[in-house]
Amino acid sequence: MRWCIILLNDEGVRFIEAYVDGPLDQALLLKPSANLLSLHPRVFPGAPEDILGEKDSLSEEVVELLQVQLTRFTCGSLVVGFTSHHLVADGHSTGNFLVAWGQACRGLEISPLPLHDRTIFTPRNPPIFEFEHKGVEYISLKTHNLKYNSVDNIEVHKVHYTVEFLAKIKDKASSMNGNNNKPFSTFESLVAHLRRAITKSRCLNEHETSQIRISIDGRQRLNPKISNDYFGNLVLWAFPSAKVKTLLQEPLFYAAKLIHDAITKVNNNYFRSFIDFANFKVKEENLITTADMTKTILCPDLEVDSWLRFPFYGT
């Protein structure tokens, strides 16, 4: 959830048509690759040469909040690429949009219709700053370096875990949780396992602190709960952190509990505190969002997002 105001500029949607002199089966890579980004509308200049066989010369500022690219191949195949501004819609809302787009293309009734209620963001009077948000979701503009680190090479690894493996990890993480407590979720258990494995492989200083940025959907955490049909951005983050030495020495239960407790903390009170802070403190203290900073997701840190509840599966 990034608190900002978007002024409608009536720029519409950028629609791009691209052509590849070859069939789809020769251009489409079987493994995940950054080269597939060429099938999406280009947002930033300086992209490497891609499967279209050209370099990106786009240098003007992108003003459209939504872009669509149709890439045609000689075999008659058509690939639809889609890029949208994350400030406008989180993953759940984007999923709803894509489902509605598919319904419209098939001549079906769009159901359910999106909910655009913005009273969700009405601050309390008086405001209650129950949690610290400066240094978490926001930092001072005066102390922030506006330069972004570029990444020359992106490596994508796709891993499939069996149901049996996931059950084993979940049982192992929950074995010390006590009889009166619920077991950790599959997500919490798997992320805990991956975090320890990645931290170990990085060979970090044992006194260094590592954190995970985990996206949290506020729809089911706000009180009253928000309909899944809400269109917008209702995401905040949990930041479980630990010293490298402790993370590797303690059992899997420890890592899973860190994640569970951090996620649980981002509840209705936390969201309400954030809304109050965003309305009353951000402009007053000249703060900017930390949402797009690579500092919070690159080594020694991680970023984790779950698409398990996105609405386009099975549609």
Written as tens digits, the pLDDT of the chain (315 aa) is 544 555 566 778 888 999 999 998 887 777 777 778 888 887 654 444 444 444 444 445 677 888 999 999 999 999 999 888 888 899 999 999 999 999 999 999 998 899 999 899 999 999 999 999 998 999 887 765 555 555 567 777 889 999 999 999 999 999 887 655 789 999 999 999 999 999 999 999 999 999 999 999 999 999 999 999 999 999 999 999 999 999 999 999 999 999 999 999 999 999 999 999 999 999 999 998 887 655 556 678 899 999 888 887 665
pLDDT at 8: 61
Could you tell me if 161 and 270 lie in one domain? yes
What is the DSSP pairing of strand 78-84 with strand 66-73? antiparallel
Measured distance CA(278)–CA(266) in Å, rounded? 16
Tally of domains in the chain = 2
Measured distance CA(298)–CA(313) in Å, rounded? 29
State the residue range of the domain holding 59: 13-85
Single pTM value for the model: 0.84
Could you tell me if 33 and 144 lie in one domain? no
Could you tell me if 80 and 150 lie in one domain? no
Instruction: Give the 3-state secondary structure of 240-281.
Output: CEEEHHHHHHCCHHHHHHHHHHHHHHCCHHHHHHHHHHHHHC
Measured distance CA(255)–CA(4) in Å, rounded? 34
* CATH code of residue 139: 3.30.559.10
Could you tell me if 203 and 280 lie in one domain? yes
Distances 180 to 119, 173, 176, 189, 264 between C-alpha atoms, Å: 39, 15, 11, 18, 17
